[in-house]
Amino acid sequence: MTSDSTSKTTASGGWIRRWIRRAFVFGLFATAAGVVVGAIGFKSLEARLPDVFSFAAYKDLAVENSRVYAAGGELIARFGGELRTVVPMARIPATVRFAVVCAEDAAFYHHPGLDLLGIARALWVDIIEGRYAQGASTITQQFAKTRFLSSEKKVIRKLKELVLARKLEQKVSKDDILVMYMNEIYFGDGRYGVEEASRYFFGKPVSEVNVAEAALLAAVVNSPARFSPYRHPERALERRRYVLLQMQRRGYISEADAARGNAHPLPTKAHEDRVIRAPWVVAAVRREVLQRVGNRALRSEGLRIEVAMDITAQRAAEAAVAAGLRRLDAHYKTREPLRRYQTAQAMDEAGKQLARRRKGKPARVGRPIHGIVRSFDVDAKTYVIDLGGERGTLHRDTLARFVDDQGAPPSFRRGDLIRVSILSRDATGGSVLSPELGPQAALVAIEPKTRLVRALVGGDDANLHPFHRALMARRQPGSTFKTFVYGAAIEAGMATPDTRVTDEKRTYTSHGRPWTPRNYKGSWDGKAHSLRDALARSINSIAVEIAQRVGPEKVAEFARRAGILSPLRADLPLALGASGVTPIELTNAYATLAADGLYGEPVLLTRIIDRHGKERFRAATTLTRVMPAKVAHALSDMLGEVVRRGSARGAHVGRPVAGKTGTTNRARDAWFVGFSPRLASAVWVGWDDRLPMAKGSGGKLALPIWADFMRAALDRVPVLPLPRLPHVLGTPRAPPIPLDDDPEAGAANLTDELADKLEADLQEVLP
């Protein structure tokens, strides 16, 4: 080899060594810089992540739905999107914990929260695939992801998961991580956590599951959709077999246990919580709870909400209202269209008239309007309804109330004019409709001595007609208000139940005009009647005369003390029920009479308890005397006479009761309100938009519903007497008052003009 070639080789080798040294140094610096940058990034990322906590803190923050219970402890509703019941480790059997660990993370108790080999394997797959294709999660990582992070598949989210998993492992015990994970995981069908999953799959708490059931719970965790025992039993069996095998291999169960577990049948039917439907009660309770604790607490803090509703009374109320409305539908032939347009031209012109009537404004949601049937979609089972300027759809299923004796709903034809209301509008402006074919009804029942609301019905269907008439509809009470007129006079010492007043024509000034109150026949008999007799006969002229003598202001004040909270116009038409009231306040006012003159606010919501057993709210049931007991006794006796021989003779329910019918002009509102010593209740019947009910009255339309309800609600309640005035005890029972008809049928308590003016002035609540 020449000297030149040798020198060249030497120079080349030196250059390579220098390059290697420089590369090594650069690598060291790069590695050090990477470590520093990584550490800074790790600390920065860790600082921005949420704090981790113990199981005790988790229980406070976990999303847990609230439950509503009736007075007897029956579950009637659950509020919240995630059905979860958080349980501590002590209530989760060891077999369930072992099964979850074996199925999801066999090395859970040995690794530092991260499966490094798994992460490397998943990272390699992600690089090959060119996307986030595979994860590698320990139980700690899964809990960190589901509890703290979003489900987006991005690298930064994965890095956060790793950092948070290490943070959890450093600050929280393994057992706490596992129990939080088992309360957090999703099992499908809206169920979260092992407690809800156990109740859903097996109909029992997780504390009672056997080995096979524990293995199935663990099997479902991996993929609730793929391994559901209801949708894919073969896959569920195979996955359960795998879990049992892993439990056996790791010594958690014996071979015999695994064999018995594999032989155990899968559940075939979901075990839903037995929720007793009481939609009107639930709607009212939800509104009150929201006011007291807010939406977040209601939906996520696992509250126990207790209400005064009695299941027997509520079922009786719903059945009585449903039966009563069916009778009204048959009587008023609500299945038939209002009219039928025979030609396309006639339909088009009618549609234009509907549009002109609304003056181009869209129809209000919930307000009854007319519509013309344009077509019927057989596949969708929906009618297309022309509302005049807009169209909506009415599903045939919404007509269930109006089925005939064979169970068939009414079948409308093209061109039929019917009454509907807009239930909702979708994003495209289309309207979903509800039928408004028949009148509505409301019922309230209150226990006088406690003021607990035992039953509540606000209409025919809470889903189709959600306006809560029992609580929100202010309607003229008609002759039911005469009770307060006579009560004010008796309390003032101006009259007794036996004070006699002549039924004669009298003219007063009302609203600046002469007004002559008329009785139901439009005439006056010229005879003197006791107030007891006048109430039993529902004589208008005497009620107005007593109001004139005592003063409308005192009548209004007496009614307010009894429980009427709505605005009352203190003038003479008030004596005939001209000012609107709600069913619940009228019921409560009569409950004051049944409670010997003691007033209390109606109580539906009795208690709210948080998930730690701490009371957040407890209703007060204090009663206050608002009238002398002797006045309440006198009114109770007079109202008993109304039932015994007056206009409410149909209210006999096999026990002493008292009450009063009420009917407004042209039967726009029909009432019966009454009580026994144990229960006060009221029934209202009418159209939401105040259509007249031909030949209707409180005695014919509302009283039968009331009687049906009271018979059923008080079926097993001991019979108690009503107060009777001393001077009538032991006297011969008076004969029934001869009545040609219900004294309020077609009553003309007020002129139509005056009644309409009062309704407009008082701005009565409409849906």
Give the integer Cα–Cα distance in Å for 502 and 336.
46
CATH number at residue 388: 2.40.50.140
Which stretches of 596-713 are DSSP H helices? 629-645, 703-713
Is the pLDDT score of 202 beyond 80?
Answer: yes
Same domain, 431 and 536: no
Q: Distance (Å, rounded) from C-alpha 434 to C-alpha 398?
A: 7
pLDDT confidence of residue 152: 57
Point out the least confidently predicted range of 154-158, 532-536, 598-602: 154-158
The answer to whether residues 128 and 214 belong to one domain is yes
User: Residue 220 is encoded by which pair of tokens?
Assistant: 């479902």
Residues 361 and 412 in one domain: yes
Q: Taking 70 as the threshold, does the pLDDT of residue 746 lie above it?
A: no
Residues of the chain with pLDDT > 90: what percent?
Answer: 69
User: In this structure, is residue 301 part of a structural domain?
Assistant: no
Closest C-alpha among 574, 400, 604 to residue 477: 574
Provide the domain limits for residue 174. Answer: 87-263
To the query of whether residue 129 is one of the catalytic residues in this protein, the response is no
Average pLDDT over residues 70-90: 93
Is the pLDDT reported for residue 350 higher than 90? yes
Residue 273: band (very low, low, confident or very high) from pLDDT cuts 50, 70, 90: confident
The burial of 533, by beta-carbon neighbours within 10 Å (0-12 exposed, 13-18 middle, 19 or more buried), is given as buried
Tokens representing residue 466 in the block? 């959600």
Same-domain status, 419 and 450: no
What are the pLDDT digits (tens) for 372-422?
999 999 999 999 999 998 899 999 999 999 999 999 999 999 999 999 999
Number of C-beta neighbours around residue 126 at 10 A: 18
The C-alpha atoms of residue 565 and residue 463 are separated, in whole angstroms, by 28
389 against 549, higher pLDDT: 549
Band the pLDDT of 521: cuts 50, 70, 90: confident
Residue 680 reports pLDDT greater than 70:
yes
In this structure, the answer to whether residues 575 and 501 fall within a common structural domain is yes
Report yes or no on 539 lying in a domain. Answer: yes
Cβ atoms 312, 711 nearer than 8 A: no
Residue 607 has pLDDT above 90, yes or no: yes
Look at residues 214, 248, 263 and tell me which one is the last residue of a structural domain.
263
Domain total in the chain: 4
Same domain, 555 and 511: yes
pLDDT band with cut points at 50, 70 and 90 for residue 762 = very low
Active site residue 479: yes
pLDDT in tens, 324-337: 999 999 999 999 99
Half-sphere exposure of 147 (CA within 13 A, CB side): 30
The CATH number linked to 200 is 1.10.3810.10
- Choosing from 64, 104, 169, 585, the catalytic residue is 104
The CA-based dihedral angle spanning residues 303, 306, 312, 315, taken in that order and rounded to the nearest 10 degrees: -50
Cα separation of 117 and 758, whole Å? 81
483 vs 235: CA distance, rounded Å: 71
In this structure, are 562 and 703 located in the same domain? Answer: yes
Catalytic position from the list 66, 300, 479, 541: 479
Residue 325 is predicted with a pLDDT of 98
Structure tokens at 22: 């420089």
In a domain, 710, yes or no: yes
Q: Which residues, in sequence order, are bridge partners of residue 209?
A: none
Q: Of the residues 437, 472, 504, which one is the last residue of a structural domain?
A: 437
Tell me, yes or no, whether 303 lies in a domain: no
pLDDT value of residue 7: 54
Mean pLDDT computed over every residue of the chain: 87
When pLDDT is averaged across residues 244-263 and rounded to a whole number, the result is 95
Domain shared by 484 and 528, yes or no: yes
DSSP alpha helices (H): ranges in 49-73? 55-61
Handedness of CA 151, 153, 158, 160 (dihedral sign): negative
Co-location of 427 and 455 in the same domain: no
DSSP 493: T
Can you give the C-alpha Rg of the chain in angstroms?
Answer: 37
What gap in Å lies between CA 97 and CA 81, rounded to an integer?
26
As a whole number of angstroms, the distance between CA 715 and CA 718 comes to 8
Residues in the chain: 767
- Using the predicted structure, report yes or no on whether residue 237 has a pLDDT greater than 80: yes
Q: What's the CATH code of the domain at 507? A: 3.40.710.10
Question: Which position has the token pair 């009761």?
Answer: 657
Buried b / exposed e across 712-724, counting CB within 10 Å, b at 16+?
bbbeeeeeeebbb
pLDDT of amino acid 40: 46
Please check whether residue 355 lies inside any domain of the structure: yes
pLDDT digits 0-9 by tens, 436-473: 999 999 999 999 999 999 999 999 999 999 999 999 99
Residue 722 lies in a domain: yes
User: CA–CA separation, 159 vs 155, rounded Å?
Assistant: 6
In a domain, 75, yes or no: no
Residues 568 and 614 in one domain: yes
Task: Please indicate, yes or no, whether residues 259 and 214 belong to a single structural domain of this protein.
Answer: yes
Helix (H) or strand (E) holding 394: strand 391-395
Higher pLDDT, 371 or 4: 371
Q: Is pLDDT of 232 > 50?
A: yes
Q: Evaluate whether residue 723 is within a structural domain.
A: yes
pLDDT of 731 higher than 50? no
414 & 554 share domain: no
Average pLDDT over residues 323-351: 95
- CA 390/CA 383 separation, integer angstroms: 14
Where is the domain boundary, 246, 263, 280? 263
Query: How does residue 42 score in pLDDT terms, banded at 50, 70 and 90?
Result: very low
